[in-house]
Amino acid sequence: MSARTTIEHGTLRGWRQHKRHGSIACDPCAAARRLSKQDPPAESTQRARQQWNRGMVGDSRPATSAPVIETCTVDGCGITADQPAPSPAMVRIHVPGSTDPARWYCPGRCAAIGRALADLRSVAA
Ligand SMILES: [Zn+2]
Ligand SMILES: [Zn+2]
């Protein structure tokens, strides 16, 4: 019997109406309220943006730890050598003084790349 109040969802006013009714603001209202704030916390904004990008097929590149070098498809190539060799053919690469631990690589190209990477890390350290 009280006059029904319609909530203007998706607006700041709607958000306030939710509050007045003691209900939790729905998503559109919460979003409107967030937008109305001048300075949203930078961190959460960034996180939201990241999630957004991940959910979208965009032009943002996959920000994994992908190195410049194309990934080797051999199983276990590049794993640290505190584990047993993934294959008997693999070679153990460790550059003394490098911050990079010893790793297993397939012989040849991967081993060369691995050594170069470890070298780089020793220089950078
Ligand atoms: Zn609402
Ligand atoms: Zn490899």
- Residue 1, exposed/middle/buried by CB under 10 A (0-12, 13-18, 19+)? exposed
b/e string for 40-76 if b means 16 or more Cβ within 10 A? eeeeeeeeeeeeeeeeeeeeeeeeeeeeeeeeeeeeb
Do the strands 91-93 and 103-105 form a parallel or antiparallel pair, or are they unpaired? Answer: antiparallel
Question: Which pLDDT score is estimated for 99?
Answer: 87
CA distances from 60 to 54, 120, 121 (A): 9, 27, 27
Question: Which pLDDT score is estimated for 110?
Answer: 92
Question: Which pLDDT score is estimated for 3?
Answer: 59
> Which residues lie at CB < 5 A from ion ligand 2?
72, 74, 77, 106, 110
CA of 90 relative to ligand 2 center, distance in Å: 9
Which residues are bridge partners to 104 per DSSP? 92
Question: Which pLDDT score is estimated for 76?
Answer: 93
Of 18, 45, 44, nearest to 29 by C-alpha is 18
Q: Tell me: the pLDDT tens digits for 62-116? A: 555 545 556 788 889 999 999 999 999 999 999 988 888 999 999 998 999 999 9
Nearest-ligand number for the alpha carbon of 21: 1
Average pLDDT over residues 16-24: 93
Confidence category of residue 122, pLDDT binned at 50, 70, 90: confident
